[in-house]
Copies of this chain bind each other. A is one copy, B any other.
Amino acid sequence: MERLEQQMRFVTEIGELKGVLRQTMLAGLSRRENSAEHSWHLALMALTLTEHAPPGADIGRVIAMVLIHDLVEIDAGDLFLYVDPEQQSRQDAAERAAADRIFALLPADQASDVRRLWDEFSERRTPDAKFARALDRLQPMLENMAAGGGTWQEHGITADQVLPKVELIEDGSPALGRLARGLICRAVAAGFLAPALGAAGQPGEYAV
């Protein structure tokens, strides 16, 4: 098959990501977010928040990473952040199988470039991957704030469950980590997020 033909099959196939729904509710639109528009939002966050990336990060690579990071969900679907380790492990296997199938639509050289980028995002060891993962963790928090609680309320998530997730944001960007802690504090104060299961609500604890 000709290179352009392979590339166009990939371009057509990835359009399916517009039909993969995430847990995140979009405030004002009364519907869940899909993984394509989520990926677009992350790419624009990377472009806008470049100066908060770790030293040595290459924003072009970060953008490529967030653009492709969810393609595997075309086969594997999206998984909510707060699931048990067994569900997470099944999801990881399904995503690796999806990566094998979807990236292989591309010419071999491009397939291995995209696979390397996706593996790098998953492993979260490089500055680029750390920043990309921080954005991916921060964006649903912004949507939950805009939606007055969103999936936090829907699933009864508490601040003491969200706070450990912020460490990954801090690891990719101390400035965005501080911002995320401030968001949690405001979410608790606004009643969007319960402080802890059975706890009496001490928003002060969550101050940055």
Contact = CB atoms under 8 A, between A and B. Distances in A.
Contacts of A41: 11, 14-15, 18, 36
Interface in A169-184: 175, 179
Contact of A37 (B7, B11, B37, B175): B37
Interface string A29-42: 10001101101110
Given A11-B48, A64-B47, A106-B48, A26 B37 contact: no
Nearest to A8: B179
Interface in A88-113: 106, 110
Q: Is the interface of A mostly helix, strand, loop or mixed?
A: helix
A19 B45 CA distance: 18
Given A47-B67, A49-B11, A36 B40 contact: yes
A188 interface: no
Interface of A: 3-4, 7-8, 10-12, 14-19, 26, 28-29, 33-34, 36-37, 39-41, 43-45, 47-49, 51-52, 60, 63-64, 67-68, 106, 110, 142-143, 146, 175, 179
Which of A8, A16, A44, A51: most chain B CB closer than 10 A?
A: A44
Contacts of A36: 36-37, 40-41
A48 B110 contact: yes
Given A4-B52, A11-B142, A15-B41, 14 more contacts: A4-B179, A7-B48, A11-B41, A11-B49, A14-B41, A19-B26, A36-B36, A36-B40, A37-B37, A37-B40, A43-B63, A47-B64, A60-B60, A63-B67
A72 to B, nearest CB: 14
Contacts of A179: 4, 8
